[in-house]
């Protein structure tokens, strides 16, 4: 029950611009997250420039609302100085926390600004206890958990830091931070804030060269998360912050969703019913939905998780449309307003600029169960369902919500020959101000009611007078000017108190001591099957396999086991050769003395190199997103600070894993959600995109991996990398046979 939870759960709302910020605050957010013009994972939101950020922090703090600024992208070396200047600006302007992804930058910021609160972004792939508690050891205050975790799994994570979960809004299909689809295909990196939404495009599933009927083409598109019906269970789980997604949505969306969560959270702590009305649910659908799901948080999967019919906002059912001469006739099942947005299923959409009644007279509103006509602006060809995707009346209603007011109590003391004194309190701050001495009235005394009236005039402020007490003598004289000035001074003083920084700034220095680095020179092959592994045993290479049975069967000095990218619990692999595909594996197996960090740890700068070497990673795979110039700058800066080269590895060939999903196409479409067995049939499966490119699918431990449709090939760049001091190179094999492997291997010797 709520009475055992001492700390009230935080409601965290998105703010992609100033209107969204105001909407979130006016509707009851405890905190907002937003971004500057750079380094945020939503680069295409409006976002805030530096002056707007200063104003936003002050404005939010007036209402007791915290501000978390997102710096949750990977940083390249040439961006670090500018980013650190930006963080200094935020720190000195009293930001409550920064939200970060880049491991090296977290380590740097923690040491330079030791009391600046940092939250670990979900982009860090935060899904198990080992990694989360390592982040705690760095001084992270809060972790934003992977959206793939269930509530039961979250409960089992024991950590000293705060837990934050997404409870509403859009879902990524890939584990966050592990999606390279947009980057590899369209050169727009999700890890750099420029995701192109590849998961919302159409795909076709293939078994070998045969298309599979899926009854829908948006095979990577999840529904919208909506956990309102299970909010009590979430709060009961001792989660610290409930996060609403939506920096790319509208202010009305943010405000309405925030308002409903605020009402239900307050009801929880007041031991009241926590029900969402049918009207509220309908309004939520009108604001934005791809259909709703409880998500992985409540173990929903396949058709309960995915909407393969549509990847866009589907709104709500409005009625049935038929052609009538040059107009469209709509039989209404819901109200319609002029300027509503409507969509005709599979045939396009429009704004209702002109609305006609049955007599073809212009109107601005019609009720359900009536018939209306609209212009055929979309060249409708056949009868169909009509959806409402924008409700103008609802939007206007939401906009009309009054500004949030802060309740205050005022006490006034007015005694003859004593200072005119007043105290204001917001329940936390108590401000007392004095003015000139009160004198005795000779013929026109001030009444108590007049004092009450003057001190109640707070309408043009952000305060709401809850109670006022006036203590005074009879026959006193106080000029009206004095009362007004004391009231204004009182309010200004409280406002200043509410917004002033509550800490002394503290600065530190970055210090990290890397262990002595042992340079290596290696060619490494990631293999996909036993045949490839056996053949490469005759070559002078390291062999990496993610099949633990194969690893144990052929175990020797040059054979390494690739840990799973997704590992909720980590097995005991003491003294094994490890390629760590996630941060937790580096932490867990650091004592093995032979742990290689994989490319999926997203290393893009020298501070991440230092952090991982300090964790005893013997060799560090560099992010596939880092260009040659990025890598050159990274190596040079590392050498400048450490007087030695890092031991790094560059992936130069193969099909890169672009996504890892806690979702199985094969079980959904081929096995119809029955006991899983399809992935064991040794057949090849692919996703075909709109450009007729085939992306291989592989499955492991009930997770789905999507590979690139083509190999990268930078074998001809080896000598350039060697000039930088890089002597480790990895090649990823998929379906290459012996002759092809020989050809690749021979090219490495040239």
DSSP labels, 163-209: EEEEEEE---SBPTT---HHHHHHS--GGGT----GGGS--EEEETT
For residue 274, CA distances in Å to 96, 234, 235, 446, 601 come to 30, 12, 12, 49, 41
Q: In the beta sheet, which residues pair with residue 472?
A: 414
Averaged pLDDT of the chain: 94
Identify whether residues 24 and 131 lie together within a single domain.
yes
pLDDT digits (tens, 9 = 90+) for 205-255: 999 999 999 989 999 999 999 999 999 999 999 899 999 999 999 999 999
Identify whether residues 384 and 411 lie together within a single domain.
no
* CA–CA distance, 729 with 719 (Å, rounded to integer): 11
* CA–CA distance, 90 with 580 (Å, rounded to integer): 34
Kindly report the CATH number assigned to the domain that includes residue 62: 3.20.20.70
192 within a domain of the structure (yes/no): no
Torsion of CA 419, 424, 430, 433, to 10 degrees: -30
191 within a domain of the structure (yes/no): no
User: Is residue 240 classed as helix, strand or coil in its secondary structure?
Assistant: coil
pTM of the model: 0.94
State the number of CA atoms in the 13 A half-sphere of 270 facing the CB. Answer: 9
411 within a domain of the structure (yes/no): yes
* H or E stretch at 586: helix 583-588
Planar angle of CA 137, 138, 139, nearest 5 degrees: 90
User: Is residue 114 classed as helix, strand or coil in its secondary structure?
Assistant: coil
Q: Please give the full DSSP string across 243-278, using - where no structure is assigned.
A: EE--TTS-HHHHHHHHHHHHHHHHHHHTT------H
Q: In the beta sheet, which residues pair with residue 204?
A: 688
Residues 365-380 have a mean pLDDT of 95
Q: What is the pLDDT of residue 180?
A: 94
Handedness of CA 482, 488, 491, 495 (dihedral sign): negative
For residue 330, CA distances in Å to 53, 393, 625 come to 47, 19, 51
Q: What is the pLDDT of residue 6?
A: 60
pLDDT digits (tens, 9 = 90+) for 25-70: 999 999 999 999 988 767 777 889 999 999 999 999 999 999 999 9
Give the model's confidence band at 379: pLDDT under 50 very low, under 70 low, under 90 confident, else very high. Answer: very high
Contacts of 79 (CB under 8 A, 6+ apart): 39
* CA–CA distance, 40 with 17 (Å, rounded to integer): 13
Q: What is the pLDDT of residue 194?
A: 87
* CA–CA distance, 9 with 30 (Å, rounded to integer): 9
Identify whether residues 332 and 411 lie together within a single domain.
no
Identify whether residues 8 and 137 lie together within a single domain.
yes
* CA–CA distance, 383 with 28 (Å, rounded to integer): 43
671 within a domain of the structure (yes/no): no
Torsion of CA 291, 26, 269, 145, to 10 degrees: 50
Domain boundary among 399, 425, 440: 399
Kindly report the CATH number assigned to the domain that includes residue 369: 2.40.30.10
β-pair type (371-375, 355-356):
antiparallel
Contacts of 42 (CB under 8 A, 6+ apart): 16, 35, 70, 193, 247, 248
Q: What is the pLDDT of residue 563?
A: 96
Identify whether residues 44 and 140 lie together within a single domain.
yes
Q: In the beta sheet, which residues pair with residue 409?
A: 425, 467
| Domain membership of residue 351 as a residue range | 316-399
Planar angle of CA 416, 421, 426, nearest 5 degrees: 150
* CA–CA distance, 728 with 712 (Å, rounded to integer): 17
Residues 474-502 have a mean pLDDT of 93
Residues shown for the chain: 750
190 within a domain of the structure (yes/no): no
Residue 70, both tokens: 């997102």
Identify whether residues 570 and 555 lie together within a single domain.
yes
Identify whether residues 109 and 252 lie together within a single domain.
yes
Residues 352-368 have a mean pLDDT of 96
Handedness of CA 56, 61, 66, 71 (dihedral sign): positive
2 has a pLDDT exceeding 60 = no
Give the model's confidence band at 204: pLDDT under 50 very low, under 70 low, under 90 confident, else very high. Answer: very high
635 has a pLDDT exceeding 60 = yes
pLDDT digits (tens, 9 = 90+) for 151-188: 999 999 999 999 999 999 999 999 999 999 999 999 89
Total domains in the chain come to 4
Identify whether residues 585 and 722 lie together within a single domain.
yes
Token pair 């159409």 is found at 202
Domain boundary among 341, 364, 399: 399
Q: Radius of gyration of the chain from Cα atoms?
A: 31
71 within a domain of the structure (yes/no): yes
Q: Which of 88-97, 480-489, 588-597 has the lowest mean pLDDT?
A: 588-597
Q: How many CB atoms lie within 10 A of CB 262?
A: 16
Identify whether residues 589 and 736 lie together within a single domain.
yes
Question: Cβ(44)–Cβ(36) under 8 Å?
Answer: no
Question: Cβ(13)–Cβ(254) under 8 Å?
Answer: yes
Identify whether residues 604 and 474 lie together within a single domain.
no
Q: What is the pLDDT of residue 4?
A: 42
560 within a domain of the structure (yes/no): yes
pLDDT digits (tens, 9 = 90+) for 527-558: 999 999 999 999 999 999 999 999 999 999 99
* CA–CA distance, 654 with 184 (Å, rounded to integer): 13
Q: Which of 553, 621, 552, 555 lies closest to 582, judged by CA?
A: 621
Q: Please give the full DSSP string across 478-531, using - where no structure is assigned.
A: --HHHHHHHHHHHHHHHHHHHHS--S----------PPPP----EEEEE-SSHH
pLDDT digits (tens, 9 = 90+) for 642-677: 999 999 999 999 999 999 999 988 888 887 766 666
Return the DSSP state at 438: B
334 has a pLDDT exceeding 80 = yes
Identify whether residues 56 and 14 lie together within a single domain.
yes
284 within a domain of the structure (yes/no): no
Question: Cβ(305)–Cβ(663) under 8 Å?
Answer: yes
For residue 527, CA distances in Å to 22, 340, 635, 731, 735 come to 53, 55, 28, 9, 9
Q: Which of 417, 414, 485, 408 lies closest to 446, judged by CA?
A: 414
Identify whether residues 416 and 388 lie together within a single domain.
no
State the number of CA atoms in the 13 A half-sphere of 552 facing the CB. Answer: 4
Domain boundary among 435, 464, 499: 499
């Amino acid at each position: 029950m709520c009475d055992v939870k001492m700390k009230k759960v935080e409601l965290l709302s998105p703010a992609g611009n100033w209107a969204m910020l105001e909407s979130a605050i006016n509707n009851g957010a405890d905190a907002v997250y937003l971004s500057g013009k750079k380094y945020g994972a939503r680069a295409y939101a409006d976002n805030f420039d530096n002056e707007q950020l200063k104003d936003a922090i002050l404005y939010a703090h007036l209402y007791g609302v915290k501000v978390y600024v997102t710096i949750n992208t990977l940083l390249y070396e040439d961006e670090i100085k500018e980013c650190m200047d930006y963080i200094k600006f935020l720190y000195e302007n009293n930001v409550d926390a920064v939200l970060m992804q880049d491991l090296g930058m977290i380590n740097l910021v923690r040491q330079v600004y030791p009391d600046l609160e940092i939250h670990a972004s979900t982009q860090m792939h935060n899904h198990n206890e080992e990694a989360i508690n390592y982040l705690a050891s760095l001084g992270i205050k809060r972790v934003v958990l992977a959206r793939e975790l269930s509530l039961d799994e979250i409960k089992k994570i024991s950590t000293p830091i705060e837990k934050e979960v997404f409870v509403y809004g859009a879902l990524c299909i890939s584990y966050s931070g592990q999606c390279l689809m947009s980057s590899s295909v369209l050169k727009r990196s999700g890890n750099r804030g420029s995701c192109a939404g590849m998961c919302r495009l159409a795909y076709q599933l293939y078994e070998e060269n045969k298309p599979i009927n899926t009854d829908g083409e948006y095979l990577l598109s999840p529904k919208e998360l909506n956990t309102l019906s299970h909010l009590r269970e979430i709060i009961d789980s001792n989660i610290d912050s409930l996060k609403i997604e939506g920096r790319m949505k509208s202010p009305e969306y943010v405000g309405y969703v925030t308002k409903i969560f605020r009402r239900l959270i307050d009801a929880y702590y007041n031991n009241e019913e926590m029900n969402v009305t049918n009207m509220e649910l309908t309004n939520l659908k009108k604001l934005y939905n791809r259909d709703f799901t409880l998500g992985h948080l409540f173990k929903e999967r396949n058709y309960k998780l995915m909407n393969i019919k549509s990847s866009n906002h589907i709104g709500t059912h409005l009625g049935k449309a038929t052609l009538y001469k040059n107009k469209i006739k709509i039989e209404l099942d819901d109200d319609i307003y002029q300027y509503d947005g409507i969509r005709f299923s599979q045939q396009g959409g429009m704004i209702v600029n002109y609305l006609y009644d049955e007599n073809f007279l212009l109107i601005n509103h019609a009720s359900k169960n009536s018939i209306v006509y609209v212009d055929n602006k979309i060249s409708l060809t056949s009868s169909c369902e009509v959806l409402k995707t924008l409700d103008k009346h609802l939007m206007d209603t939401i906009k009309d919500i009054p500004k949030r007011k802060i309740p205050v109590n005022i006490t006034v003391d007015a005694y003859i020959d004593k200072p005119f004194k007043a105290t204001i309190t917001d329940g936390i701050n108590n401000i007392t101000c004095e003015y000139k001495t009160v004198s005795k009235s000779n013929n026109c005394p001030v009444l108590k009611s007049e004092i009450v009236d003057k001190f109640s005039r707070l309408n043009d402020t952000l305060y709401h007078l809850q109670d006022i007490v006036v203590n005074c003598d009879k026959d006193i004289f106080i000029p009206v000017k004095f009362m007004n000035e004391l009231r204004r001074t009182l309010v200004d003083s409280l406002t200043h108190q509410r917004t002033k920084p509550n800490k002394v700034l503290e600065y530190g220095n970055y210090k990290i001591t890397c262990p002595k680095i042992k340079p290596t020179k290696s060619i490494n092959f990631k293999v996909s099957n036993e045949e490839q592994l056996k053949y490469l045993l005759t070559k002078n290479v390291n062999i990496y396999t993610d099949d633990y049975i194969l690893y144990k069967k052929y175990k020797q000095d040059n054979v390494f086991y690739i840990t799973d990218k997704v590992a909720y619990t980590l097995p005991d692999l003491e003294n094994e050769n490890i390629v760590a595909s996630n941060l937790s594996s580096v932490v867990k197996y650091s004592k093995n003395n032979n742990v290689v960090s994989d490319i999926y740890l997203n290393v893009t700068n020298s501070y991440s190199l230092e952090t991982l070497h300090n964790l005893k990673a013997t060799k560090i795979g560099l992010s596939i997103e880092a260009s040659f110039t990025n890598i050159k700058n990274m190596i040079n800066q590392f050498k400048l600070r450490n007087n030695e080269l890092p031991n790094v590895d560059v992936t130069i060939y193969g099909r890169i894993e672009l996504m890892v999903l806690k979702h199985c196409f094969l079980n959904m479409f081929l096995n119809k959600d029955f006991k899983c067995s399809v992935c064991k049939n040794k057949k090849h499966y692919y996703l075909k995109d709109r450009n007729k490119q085939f992306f291989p699918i592989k499955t492991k431990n009930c997770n789905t991996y999507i590979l690139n449709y083509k190999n990268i090939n930078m074998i001809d760049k080896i000598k350039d990398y060697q000039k930088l001091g890089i002597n480790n190179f990895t090649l990823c094999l998929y379906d290459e046979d012996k002759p092809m492997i020989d050809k690749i291997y021979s090219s490495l010797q040239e």
